[in-house]
Chains A and B, each alone.
Chain A
Amino acid sequence: GQNIDQPTEMTATEGAIVQINCTYQTSGFNGLFWYQQHAGEAPTFLSYNVLDGLEEKGRFSSFLSRSKGYSYLLLKELQMKDSASYLCAVASNDYKLSFGAGTTVTVRA
């Protein structure tokens, strides 16, 4: 089976940095995805890592270590609109995605 763990909740101040960790144990590996989901809305794609290292996209960066089964999503210069759930998902051998339960990030003024 697939096992994907991420913290349930995190709180940070506007302008700060938050790091959301994700650890996984899956049947094979074909990439790790991060999605953002605002309350009552659909998930939207943020990032994709298939090789070890850091992928940077504006204020958001995602890191992957395949040997450790570990990834993190880094959100910099936090804005109120970044308050959302962040979903870690892993593509296994058959390419199907398994999702973690999500991390709810609350940004305070």
Chain B
Amino acid sequence: IAGITQAPTSQILAAGRRMTLRCTQDMRHNAMYWYRQDLGLGLRLIHYSNTAGTTGKGEVPDGYSVSRANTDDFPLTLASAVPSQTSVYFCASSDSIELNEQFFGPGTRLTVL
């Protein structure tokens, strides 16, 4: 692994289903983030983690949950998907929340029908 990876690349999901988007980084970065990107709205922060074991809510956290059991992994879970969660999801990481040059993963394109 080099950098930050996400899986799956894309997914079509029925409304009401549970879905976990995976994110892994090998840069030993302390801070990790989840964003969604929608046309005309730019990137919006869903959840973040300053360091392993801690998480926080971003601008649009409703309907999403995260966990940070270790430094490398930061999965995002949609407990019961709704069509408004159709979006492109980007995971990012930075050395720390204060040193904020963020490195982005390739994204997951999610469609909820």
Partner-B contacts on A (CB < 8 A): 4, 30-31, 33, 41-45, 48, 87, 89, 91, 94-102
Contact = CB atoms under 8 A, between A and B. Distances in A.
Interface of B: 35, 40-45, 48, 58-59, 90, 97-98, 100-107
A2 to B, nearest CB: 8
Given A42-B90, A96-B45, A101 B104 contact: no
A100 B100 contact: no
B110 to A, nearest CB: 15
A102 B105 contact: no
Given A101-B42, A102-B42, A45 B97 contact: no
The 3 nearest A-B residue pairs measured at CB: A42-B104, A101-B42, A99-B43
B33 to A, nearest CB: 8
A44 to B, nearest CB: 7
Contacts of B102: 33, 45, 97
A95 B98 CA distance: 6
A41 B104 CA distance: 10
A41 B44 CA distance: 16
B45 A101 contact: no
